[in-house]
Amino acid sequence: MPRLQGVPDVSSPTTTRPRSAVRAAGLAVAAVLAAVGGLVAAPAAQAADNPYERGPVPTVALLEASRGPFATASQSVSSLSVTGFGGGVIYYPTSTSEGTFGAIAISPGYTAAWSSISWLGPRIASHGFVVIGIETNSRLDQPDSRGRQLLAALDYLVQRSSVRSRIDGTRLAVAGHSMGGGGSLEAAVSRPSLQATVPLAPWNLDKSWTDVRVPTLIIGGESDTVAPVSSHSEPFYSSIPASSEKAYLELNGASHFFPQTVNTPTARQMVAWLKRFVDNDTRYEQFLCPGPSGLAIEEYRNTCPSA
């Protein structure tokens, strides 16, 4: 066994050393071993401190992969079996070995179906979330209606869905594209107990969101002509109080429709945000502060999470 640096060597015959020296050496060895043991036990202690931590240690490669560490399955939800929204699709991790999961409801935009942004469902679920991508009651529904429908979908997930036993009903979030993104802000105001909201290229006639207390990540497109960031995403972000956790990500050259195709910067930041605030997983703070950079990113602002 190699000798520990700074610890007396007690392997020599004790007859050549005073008993007090031997005792002191033994105490020193015990202290070092206890310190080493503490270091080894640290990950377990960290996991015990956060019972919602799910999945392996995060990396950029993990967040940018087409799928996360959890295998997923999906099931359709008929509009005839629900009230308050138009049905949709549920995506969920197939394993329950790590316990229950947080859940998120996501709304498509004006005139669009869930299929327009459905890639987000399995992508997010594979990182340890239950996701319901909703169909709206009418494809012409405005943001306030979409906000109510997102909350109705969450209530259905927690109270009546076949996957309700997999969900922790205290850890819920909403998101949406365009008017669905505007709807996610409406939902956040109506239900401040939500853990996170992620508006994507959000559209809303209301420009002031001083009542939002839910941690909010807004993702906009630099070249959006439907909901220009200068009159939507940016004033939405600026109006949210500085005391609330918030971030603004603007994608370089992106149009209003960037969520309708697989978009890695969006997925990476969205998952990191949900992990940090729905799962309270501080391992993901490294991806929020200082945040993403590179050719795909036009701008990023944030408050940096408070532990």
Instruction: Indicate which residues carry an active-site annotation.
Output: 178, 224, 256
The C-alpha atoms of residue 140 and residue 126 are separated, in whole angstroms, by 31
Nearest to 173 by CA among 124, 111, 221, 210: 124
The C-alpha atoms of residue 307 and residue 305 are separated, in whole angstroms, by 6
CA 258, 78, 152, 122 dihedral sign is: negative
Residues 21-50: b if buried by 16+ CB within 10 A, e if exposed: eeeebeeeeeeeeeeeeeeeeeeeeeeeee
Q: Where are the alpha helices (DSSP H) in the chain?
A: 19-49, 60-64, 120-125, 143-159, 179-190, 233-239, 264-277
The Cα angle at residue 7 between residues 6 and 8, in degrees rounded to 5: 120
**What's 230-258 look like in SS3?**
CCCHHHHHHHCCCCCCEEEEEECCCCCCH
For 85, 145, 211, 216, the CA distances from 206, given in Å and listed in that order, are 23, 14, 12, 16
For 145, 285, 286, the CA distances from 290, given in Å and listed in that order, are 35, 9, 7
